[in-house]
Amino acid sequence: MPSWRKNKKVNLPIYHPHDWYQLVRACSSKFTVVEIEPGYFMDFSALLKDPLVSRHKDVAGKPFKWHDVQWLPYIVQECGTVQFKTSLNREEPFPTLNFRRRGTHDINVRPLTDKPVPISVQKK
Protein backbone atom coordinates (compact mmCIF):
# COMPACT_ATOMS: atom_id res chain seq x y z
CA MET A 1 0.00 0.00 0.00
CA PRO A 2 1.51 3.40 -0.95
CA SER A 3 2.52 5.65 1.93
CA TRP A 4 -0.05 8.31 1.05
CA ARG A 5 -2.84 5.70 1.38
CA LYS A 6 -1.46 4.54 4.68
CA ASN A 7 -1.32 8.17 5.74
CA LYS A 8 -5.05 8.61 4.94
CA LYS A 9 -5.95 5.59 7.09
CA VAL A 10 -3.59 6.40 9.96
CA ASN A 11 -4.21 10.16 9.80
CA LEU A 12 -0.65 10.88 10.90
CA PRO A 13 0.17 14.57 10.55
CA ILE A 14 3.42 15.25 8.68
CA TYR A 15 5.26 18.24 10.14
CA HIS A 16 8.86 17.09 9.98
CA PRO A 17 10.93 14.69 7.81
CA HIS A 18 11.08 12.38 10.82
CA ASP A 19 7.32 11.90 10.47
CA TRP A 20 7.83 10.60 6.91
CA TYR A 21 10.44 8.14 8.18
CA GLN A 22 7.97 6.78 10.72
CA LEU A 23 5.20 6.55 8.14
CA VAL A 24 7.34 4.56 5.68
CA ARG A 25 8.50 2.29 8.49
CA ALA A 26 4.84 1.66 9.40
CA CYS A 27 3.86 0.83 5.79
CA SER A 28 5.87 -2.34 5.41
CA SER A 29 8.78 -4.26 6.81
CA LYS A 30 10.12 -4.56 3.22
CA PHE A 31 11.57 -1.05 3.45
CA THR A 32 14.66 -0.04 5.35
CA VAL A 33 14.67 3.63 6.25
CA VAL A 34 18.12 5.15 6.62
CA GLU A 35 18.17 8.61 8.13
CA ILE A 36 20.96 10.58 6.46
CA GLU A 37 23.04 12.86 8.63
CA PRO A 38 24.64 16.08 7.27
CA GLY A 39 28.12 14.46 7.50
CA TYR A 40 27.15 11.83 4.89
CA PHE A 41 27.22 14.40 2.06
CA MET A 42 30.75 14.68 0.69
CA ASP A 43 32.48 17.58 -1.09
CA PHE A 44 33.86 16.01 -4.27
CA SER A 45 34.27 19.38 -6.01
CA ALA A 46 37.28 20.13 -3.79
CA LEU A 47 39.11 17.16 -5.35
CA LEU A 48 39.39 18.93 -8.72
CA LYS A 49 41.17 21.87 -7.09
CA ASP A 50 44.27 19.96 -5.99
CA PRO A 51 44.73 16.18 -6.25
CA LEU A 52 42.62 15.50 -9.36
CA VAL A 53 42.31 17.11 -12.78
CA SER A 54 39.73 16.67 -15.54
CA ARG A 55 41.29 14.82 -18.47
CA HIS A 56 40.34 14.74 -22.15
CA LYS A 57 42.51 11.71 -23.06
CA ASP A 58 42.65 8.25 -21.57
CA VAL A 59 45.85 6.49 -20.45
CA ALA A 60 46.48 5.26 -24.03
CA GLY A 61 46.21 8.83 -25.37
CA LYS A 62 42.85 8.37 -27.10
CA PRO A 63 40.29 11.22 -26.86
CA PHE A 64 37.77 10.92 -24.04
CA LYS A 65 34.30 12.51 -23.85
CA TRP A 66 31.84 11.81 -21.05
CA HIS A 67 28.82 11.80 -23.39
CA ASP A 68 30.30 8.81 -25.27
CA VAL A 69 30.59 6.64 -22.14
CA GLN A 70 28.10 3.77 -22.02
CA TRP A 71 29.59 1.54 -19.33
CA LEU A 72 31.25 2.43 -16.02
CA PRO A 73 32.04 -0.68 -13.98
CA TYR A 74 32.39 -0.35 -10.23
CA ILE A 75 35.88 -1.71 -9.74
CA VAL A 76 37.93 -0.60 -6.76
CA GLN A 77 41.33 0.31 -8.11
CA GLU A 78 43.79 3.04 -7.46
CA CYS A 79 41.96 6.11 -6.24
CA GLY A 80 41.63 8.65 -9.04
CA THR A 81 41.31 6.19 -11.93
CA VAL A 82 38.15 5.08 -13.73
CA GLN A 83 37.54 2.34 -16.25
CA PHE A 84 34.95 2.91 -18.97
CA LYS A 85 33.61 1.69 -22.30
CA THR A 86 32.06 3.60 -25.17
CA SER A 87 30.12 0.51 -26.26
CA LEU A 88 28.27 -2.35 -24.59
CA ASN A 89 30.43 -5.01 -26.25
CA ARG A 90 31.46 -7.52 -23.55
CA GLU A 91 34.63 -8.61 -25.38
CA GLU A 92 36.01 -5.09 -25.71
CA PRO A 93 38.56 -4.22 -22.99
CA PHE A 94 37.97 -1.37 -20.55
CA PRO A 95 40.20 1.66 -21.21
CA THR A 96 41.40 3.54 -18.14
CA LEU A 97 41.13 7.23 -17.42
CA ASN A 98 43.53 8.70 -14.86
CA PHE A 99 42.41 11.86 -13.06
CA ARG A 100 45.42 12.12 -10.74
CA ARG A 101 47.81 15.04 -11.08
CA ARG A 102 51.47 14.28 -11.57
CA GLY A 103 53.36 13.96 -8.31
CA THR A 104 52.09 12.69 -5.01
CA HIS A 105 48.83 14.09 -3.74
CA ASP A 106 46.67 12.69 -0.98
CA ILE A 107 43.05 12.20 -1.93
CA ASN A 108 40.88 13.02 1.06
CA VAL A 109 37.18 13.56 0.60
CA ARG A 110 35.78 15.82 3.29
CA PRO A 111 32.17 16.17 4.41
CA LEU A 112 30.31 19.00 2.71
CA THR A 113 29.00 20.25 6.04
CA ASP A 114 28.65 19.00 9.57
CA LYS A 115 25.59 21.14 10.34
CA PRO A 116 22.03 20.79 9.11
CA VAL A 117 21.24 22.87 6.03
CA PRO A 118 19.23 25.92 7.15
CA ILE A 119 15.74 26.46 5.76
CA SER A 120 15.00 29.93 4.43
CA VAL A 121 12.24 32.05 5.96
CA GLN A 122 10.33 31.97 2.65
CA LYS A 123 10.36 28.18 2.62
CA LYS A 124 9.12 27.98 6.21
Q: Write out pLDDT tens, residues 75-116.
A: 777 778 889 999 999 999 999 988 888 776 677 788 888 887
The DSSP call for residue 60 is T
In this structure, the number of other CB atoms found within 10 A of the CB of residue 105 comes to 14
Element (H, E) at 6: helix 3-10
**All residues at 6 or more sequence positions from 45 whose CB lies less than 8 Å from its CB, including other chains:** none
Q: Does pLDDT of 62 surpass 60?
A: yes
d(Cα 30, Cα 115) in Å, to the nearest integer?
Answer: 31
Counted residue by residue, the chain has a size of 124
Burial class (CB in 10 A: 0-12, 13-18, 19+), 79: middle
Better-scored residue on pLDDT, 58 or 50 = 58
